[in-house]
Amino acid sequence: MLTRRSLSLMSRNGPMPAEAKADSKNARSASQPSTPLSTHSTPHPATPPLTERQEARRRRILHASAQLASRGGFDAVQMREVAESSQVALGTLYRYFPSKVHLLVATMQDQLEHMHGTLRKKPPAGDTAAERVAETLMRAFRALQREPHLADAMVRALTFADRSVSPEVDQVSRQTTMIILDAMGLDDPTPAQLSAVRVIEHTWHSALITWLSGRASIAQVKIDIETVCRLIDLTDPAADD
């Protein structure tokens, strides 16, 4: 069974830079749409943790990606500019992130990790788990709302992601799951509770897309999030007592 600790360990072990030299094919963005975020992760070979120097380099790359996306959205994130801004060779960038889609999905995981840290410093104050999760997701939503170009770039990357981006997509899903479980106050969720979390993730992701495309207002997003979070009460084992 997945626990919050196992999810945390899986999320921290990011993909190791590929050893093979990336060619021009790696630079092309994936064109096939992905399935929605899911906590059902595809098994991937274990990789050793990054060295301190590699982690510092990776952080510079992610920071440069976020900065470029914040200024101009998806199209503004050009791999050559990311390499220049992060002071790494273009070939090195491709060894860490084979394409712009890989990079922007990893950027979303990084942004969610920062949000998670902020949320832990100031936990939600709702009386019920459903209220706390709804408050948490709306706070995360408003943080993305303040950076609409960045949010659009990251969500588009998730939409374009194919199977080659599965490790990065899985990390985004695990990070989102940990945020929700923290708000619920759960360390060892039941299968039914994890199922509810998956549905909540899908709804939150869909709400981001509809808001970014101008098809939903913030008020409608709030209603949808609060509605789906009621699943938490329905899957609470204590409710059967």
Per-residue pLDDT, 138: 95
Question: 28 pLDDT band (50/70/90 cuts)?
Answer: very low
Q: Please report, in angstroms and rounded to a whole number, the separation of the first and last CA atoms in the chain.
A: 23
Retrieve residue 77's tokens.
């994130």
List alpha helices for 185-235, DSSP H: 191-212, 218-228, 231-234
Instruction: Please answer whether residues 28 and 99 qualify as being in contact, where contact means their C-beta atoms are separated by less than 8 angstroms.
Output: yes
Question: 24 pLDDT band (50/70/90 cuts)?
Answer: very low
State the helix-helix crossing angle for 129-145 and 191-212, rounded to 10 degrees: 30
> Could you tell me which of 30, 103, 20, 26 has the C-alpha nearest to residue 60?
103
Whether the predicted pLDDT of 23 surpasses 70: no
Per-residue pLDDT, 31: 35
Contacts 24+ apart (CB under 8 A), 76-81: 76/149, 76/153, 77/103, 77/104, 77/153, 79/27, 79/103
Mean pLDDT value across the chain: 84
> Could you tell me which of 158, 162, 142, 157 has the C-alpha nearest to residue 211?
142
Question: 9 pLDDT band (50/70/90 cuts)?
Answer: very low
Phi/psi at 155 (5° precision):
-70, -40
Per-residue pLDDT, 51: 92
- Domain limits of the chain? 4-15+101-240
Say which DSSP state 139 is in: H
- Specify the CATH number of the domain 4-15+101-240: 1.10.357.10
Whether the predicted pLDDT of 210 surpasses 90: yes
Higher pLDDT: 237 or 130? It is: 130
Whether the predicted pLDDT of 123 surpasses 60: yes
State the helix-helix crossing angle for 79-86 and 52-72, rounded to 10 degrees: 130
Q: Span 143-153, mean pLDDT?
A: 94
